[in-house]
Chains A and B, each alone.
Chain A
Amino acid sequence: MDMSALLLSRLQFAFTVSFHIIFPSFTIGLAAWLAVLEGLHLASGRPVYRRLFDFWLKIFGLAFGLGVVSGIVMGFEFGTNWSRLSEASGPIQGPLLAYESFTAFALEASFFGVLIFGRPRVSPLNYFIATLMVALGTTFSAFWIMVNNSWMQVPVGYALDHGNFVPTDWTAIIFSPVVWVRFPHMLLAAYLTGAFCVAATGAWYRLRNTYAVEARVMLRMGLGLAAVLLPIQLFFGHLNGDYVHERQPIKFAAIEGRWHDEQPAAEVVLAWPDAAGERNRFELKIPVLGSLIATMTLDSKEVGLTDFPRQDRPPVAIPFFAFRAMVGCGLLMMALAWLGSFYELNGRLDRQRLLLWAIFLGFPLPFAATLTGWFTAEVGRQPWTVYGLMRTADAVTPGLTPGATLASLVFFGLIYLLIFSFGILYIYRLLRAGPAVKAHAAATNPKRPLALTGDSPTTEVEAMERAR
C-alpha cells in the first residue's frame, strides 16, 4: 500500500464529509423549523407563518439539494477508497447505512418533491404530513449515521471471523449508550444551527428596518429556542466527554493536552502541544479542574498520552484545538442567545445595534462548532478507523494509486468549489431579498405564480400585523 494514496484518500474523505455535514446540519434544523411553521399556520391561520414557510422552503430546497448530492458521494466513498474497511465491516456498517437510505434518504427525497411542487395538489393536512415526513426523514438519517459512526468509535456487538466483523448483537449496536449521547448531541447541534440561521436572518432584517413582522417572529423563535437548547447541548457535550473518558482514554488525553499522568489532574485551557517533545508549550492551566471535569471528583488520577505507544496516538494538535474551538463557539452562542432573548422579550433589542450585528454575523458559529466537534471525534479516533481493531492504514483500498486518488481529490475539489460558491451566492440572494421575493422571482422565472394564496401583503390581517 502506497502511503500517499492513503494520505490522499484521508484528505478526500475529510474534505467530502466536512463539506457534506454542513448541509445536513442546516437542513435537519430547517426541516423541523418548517414543520413548526406549517403547524403554526394550520393552527393559527396567521399569514406570517405561511410567508416564512414559503421563504425558508426555498432556502431549504437549495441546502437540501447540496446535501443530497454530496451525501450520495459518501455512500460510494466507503467502497471506492476504503474497500478493505467496507469488506471487513460491511456486515455491520452496510446494514446500518442501508437502514439510513431506506428509512431516511428515500423518505425525505420523495416527500421533498411534494413540499416544493405539491402545495396546489394536496390538501393542507396532507401537505403538513409531507412536511413532517421530510423532518422525520432528516432525523432518521442523523440517527443511523450516528449509530454507524458510534460503532466505529466504540465497537460493540460483533465477533471477528477471519478479519471480518460479524454482527452478533444488533440490540447492543443500536442501543449502545454511546449512540444515545452522541445522537442527541448531533440533533441538538442541527437544531441550534437552524435556530441561529433563522435568528441571524431576523437580526439582519431588523438592522435594515425591513420585514418587521417576519423579523420579530424569527428573532423570538430562533433566539428563544437557542437559549433553551444551549444549556442542554452543553450537558450532552459533557456526557460525550464521559464516554470518551471511559472508552477512548487516548483521545481524551489528546483533547485535554495531557502528556503525563496527573493526580489530581489540571485542566489545560490553552497551550501549543508539542508532539515531538511530548509536552505543551505556552501552557495556561487550572489545577484540579481536570479531575473535576473528568470524574466530578477533586483527586482522580488522569492518564497522559505517554502511557500509550506513539503509533497509537492521534495527532494531538487537531483534537486539542478543534475541541476548544467547538466549546468556544458554543459559549459564544449561548451568550448571544441569552442576551438576545432577554432584550427581545423586553422589547429593547432594536436599540442594541451591536448585539443585533453580533447575532447577524454569528450565523457561522453553529457550523464551526459542528465541524470542529466532528474533527475532535474523528481525528481523535486516529490512527484507528474502527477504534482499537482496524487501523486506518489497513482500511484503504489495496492497489489504489496516488495518481488516481489525486485526480479524484482535485476533481471533487473543483466541483465542490463550484457548487458551494454558487449555492452560497443563491442562498445569500434569497436571504437578502427576503420573504416577499416577488420582484426577483418574476425577473428570473416569469412563469412562477406570484402569490400562491391569500397571503398577499395587502390583506387586512397583514396590515394589522404590521401595525402591531
Chain B
Amino acid sequence: MIQFWVAALALTTLLYVLLDGFDLGVGILFGLAGNETYRQRMLAAISPVWDGNETWLVLTATILFGAFPRIYATLLSAFYLPLIVMLGALILRGVAFEFRHKAIAARWVWDLGFAGGSIVATFIQGMTVGALAAGLPMQDGHYVGGTWGWFSPFACLCGLGLCLGYALLGAGWLVAKGEGLLRERAYQMMPALTIGVFGFLAVAFVYALALNLRIMERWLERPYLIVFPAIGAYAAVQLVRGIQFRSDLRPFRMTGLIFASAFATLAISFWPYMIPFAVTVDEAAAPPSSLSFMFWGAGLIVLPLTLGYTAVVYRVFRGKAGETGHYE
C-alpha cells in the first residue's frame, strides 16, 4: 500500500512537471514574444489545458497530505516563504488567462503577471528540488532551519536550471502546436535553450561534486542509476535531430523524456528517503487505514479515470492550435 502511494506520488509529480512544465515554459517565453499576435497564439496553445495541468500540483499536495502527512507538514512549513510566493505567482499567472482579454487599459498588468508569475513559480519549484537534494537542516526528523534554512546558492542554481528546462519544454510545445512564424520562432530559440539546459546540468553536477553532497554517493552505491543519464543522452541527440529536421513533435517528446530521466535519477537517488537522509518513506506513511481508504477509491478508480479523461481532453484539443481562432 505504501509502495502504491509512492508510485502514485511519483506519477502525479512527474505529470505535473511535464504538463504544467510546458505551460509555465510558454509563460516564461511569453515575455520574449514582442507583439500581440504572438502572445495571443501562445496563449491559444495552452489555454484549454493549463487549468487541468495545474491540478496535478494539487493532486500531488493532497496525496502528500493524505498518505504522507509528516512530509506534507514538514516540507510545506519548512519552505514557508518560497511556497507562499509561488502560490502568489501561480495566482497571478492563472487569472491572466481570464483577465487579459477582458482588460482594456490594464492588459500590461496581466501580461506582466503571466510572464513574471511563470518565471517566479518555476524558479521556486527548481529551488525547492535543489534544496532537497542539497539536504535540509533536519534534526530527529524535524526541520530546524528556521525561515531561511532552505536557502543556498546551489538551490538557486537549480531554480535557474528549471527555468531553462521549462522554457525548452514550452518551446517544444509551441513547435508542436504552433504554425507559421510562431513555430519558426520557437525553433529558433531551441538551440540556445538546449545548450542552456545541458550547461546547467554540467555545472550542477560539478558543483554537487565540489560541495561533496551526500546524494552524489548514491552514484557509487547504485551504479545502475547510469541508465537514466544514458536515456537522457539518447533523448538529447534525438532532440537535436528533431530541431534540425523540423520534426514538430519530436522536440517536445524528447525534452519530456529528458525531464523524465532526470526525475527518475533524483527519485531513485532519494529512495528510501522522502526528505533525503532524514525521513524515510516508511516513517512518513500514514496509518494503513488511511492508505487503504485512499487506495480503494481515489487510487484504484479515480486516478485511472483522471488519467483517462485528461487524455480525452488532450485528444479533443489535438493538432495545431491556430490563431486563437477556434478555441476562443
User: Which residues in A have some Cβ–Cβ distance to B below 8 Å?
Assistant: 61-62, 65-66, 68-70, 72-73, 75-76, 78-81, 83-84, 86-87, 89-103, 105-107, 109-114, 116-118, 120-122, 161, 166-168, 170, 397, 399-401, 403-404, 407-408, 411-412, 415, 418-419, 422-423, 426, 429-430, 443-445, 447-449
Contact = CB atoms under 8 A, between A and B. Distances in A.
B77 interface: yes
Contacts of B286: 90-91, 94-95
Interface in B277-328: 286-287, 289-290, 293-294, 297-298, 302-303, 306, 309-310, 313, 316-317, 323-328
B54 A120 contact: no
A117 B327 contact: yes
A56 B71 CA distance: 41
B238 interface: no
Contacts of A443: 104
For the residues of B in contact with A, the DSSP-based class is: helix
6 contacts: A65-B99, A75-B61, A79-B75, A87-B69, A111-B313, A447-B323
A86 B73 contact: yes
B92 interface: yes
Interface residues of B, number: 73
Contact of A447 (B40, B47, B51, B104): B40
Contact of B88 (A92, A161, A404, A411): A411
Interface in B48-62: 48-49, 51-52, 54-55, 57-59, 61-62
A116 B327 CA distance: 8
A167 B290 contact: yes
B152 interface: no
B317 A110 contact: no
Interface of B: 40, 47-49, 51-52, 54-55, 57-59, 61-67, 69-70, 72-77, 80-81, 83-85, 87-88, 90-92, 94-95, 97-99, 101-104, 106, 109, 143-144, 146-147, 286-287, 289-290, 293-294, 297-298, 302-303, 306, 309-310, 313, 316-317, 323-328
A83 B73 contact: yes
A444 B105 CA distance: 10
Given A86-B73, A113-B49, A408-B80, A121 B62 contact: no
Contacts of A103: 298, 302
Contact of B90 (A69, A100, A110, A399): A69
B91 A411 contact: no
A117 B48 contact: yes
B48 A113 contact: yes
A262 B287 CA distance: 45
A120 to B, nearest CB: 6
A246 to B, nearest CB: 27
A399 B145 CA distance: 9
The 7 closest A-B pairs by CB, nearest first: A90-B69, A79-B76, A94-B66, A94-B65, A87-B73, A83-B73, A83-B77
Contacts of A62: 98-99, 102
Given A65-B95, A83-B73, A90-B69, A445 B101 contact: yes
A403 B293 CA distance: 39
B106 A95 contact: no
Nearest to A87: B73
A114 B303 CA distance: 20
A93 B95 contact: no
A426 B99 CA distance: 8
A404 B74 CA distance: 16
Contacts of A95: 66-67, 286, 290, 293-294, 298
Nearest to B143: A399
Given A72-B87, A79-B64, 6 more contacts: A69-B94, A72-B58, A84-B73, A87-B74, A404-B80, A443-B104
A101 B72 contact: no
